[in-house]
Structure 1
Amino acid sequence: MPNSEPVRVAKYALEEYLRQRSVISVPEWVSEELTARRAGCFVSIHTRDGSLRGCIGTIYPTEENVALEIINNAISASTRDPRFSPISVGELPCLDISVDILGLPEETTVAELNPKMFGVIVTLGNRKGVLLPDLEGVETVQQQLRIALRKAGIRESEDYRIFRFAVERYY
């Protein structure tokens, strides 16, 4: 199955950066759907066995369009995810990339969460934890919240705020 356009943009940006150490401009072949729209996005990189190798994203848009958001987040996911060493050129053939384009977050309650449909953001002061939706091994709202809270360094007993967001996931 051919890759979606957002994934083709991410792969191209990643390959060019790792081979040439240059950040690409938006390629001419990118559609208006990605150049006329602004949105946050996450780029996730996995090994063929499904192990996470890098994931970086933006909740809100930081670039002039989603194509640039994908380009920058693809490079960051491959080189700046603090959980992993930078990806090497030799790894490229063995990696799978997905791109999640985010809808705007909305404040919500635990009762309105659904880990298959919505990502979650928990905040308290300047602490923030984000978890994408429909992740392997995350079946319940409690699991989703526990992981997001741990990422934020927030205890379950603290008075935190919850936001949810929808994504368009591309492979």
Structure 2
Amino acid sequence: MDDNQRRQLLAIARQSIQHGLQHSRPLTIDPCDYDESLQHPGASFVTLMLNRQLRGCIGSLQAHRPLVIDVAENAFAAAFRDPRFAPLTAAEFPYLEYHISLLNPAKAMQFKDQADLLKQLRPQVDGLILEDGEHRGTFLPSVWESLPHPEQFLQHLKLKAGLPADYWSDTLKVSRYTVEDIE
């Protein structure tokens, strides 16, 4: 992404939230109005911060729609549909900080046990998707800032997926991905 494309994506996120405040729906995007590289399918997470505190974070783990639409939809969802927070208010809007993470395709990890998995983790680099049966959770690489130790990172990801922190099973699947951050 060049600087112009980054600016366009940040503007889309902001405009979609502003549109949501006025119309209760995300901004309608015509991908043809944007740079060709932003028209290709892309997976993104939009993280909103207010006073340096998380205010919402929603995203897509797989590319399934044009990136510009993915960012607009995820920004709206982060502001108004994150179940951890009340919908964003107009009074909060001017103070939001926007962080967009563009996800590279996830790759399944091979490991024989938890110790082997922990050795393979790359703090500050890896985002993880953890799955077992109906349980699924992900942490973006930015979560390493608050959970810097691999054991901690994995335990909290298990909790997020609805599993006990000490859970282990031979059916556990973990995939990793990297991101390009836009702020």
- Does TM, scored on the shorter chain, surpass 0.5? yes
| Conserved 8 A contact 1:115-1:134 | no
* Change beyond 3 A, Cα 1:129–1:68: same
Partner of 1:15: 18
Structure 1 stretches of 4+ with a deviation exceeding 3 A read none
Partner of 1:125: 133
| Conserved 8 A contact 1:129-1:149 | yes
Partner of 1:91: 92
Using the TM superposition, give the Cα deviation of residue 4 of structure 1 relative to its aligned residue in structure 2, in angstroms: 2.8
Partner of 2:36: 32
Using the TM superposition, give the Cα deviation of residue 14 of structure 1 relative to its aligned residue in structure 2, in angstroms: 0.8
Q: Secondary structure at the match of 1:96?
A: strand
**Higher-helix-fraction structure:** 2
Could you list the runs of 5+ residues in structure 2 that have no partner in the other structure?
112-116
Seq. identity, %: 25
Q: Deviations over 1:7-61 (max 9, x none)?
A: 11111111111123343222665322211x21221110001x2100000111012
- Distance in 1 (CA, whole Å) between partners of 2:13 and 2:49 is 13
- Distance in 1 (CA, whole Å) between partners of 2:161 and 2:152 is 14
Correspondence 1:61 to 2:63: yes
Partner of 1:104: 105
- Distance in 1 (CA, whole Å) between partners of 2:33 and 2:93 is 22
| Conserved 8 A contact 2:123-2:150 | yes
Partner of 1:167: 179
Read off the aligned partner of 2:12 and give its amino acid letter.
V
Aligned residues between the structures: 168
Q: Deviations over 1:77-116 (max 9, x none)?
A: 1111111000011211111011111111111142221130
Read off the aligned partner of 2:129 and give its amino acid letter.
I
- Distance in 1 (CA, whole Å) between partners of 2:67 and 2:160 is 26
Partner of 2:152: 143
Using the TM superposition, give the Cα deviation of residue 152 of structure 1 relative to its aligned residue in structure 2, in angstroms: 0.5
The RMSD of aligned alpha carbons is 1.9
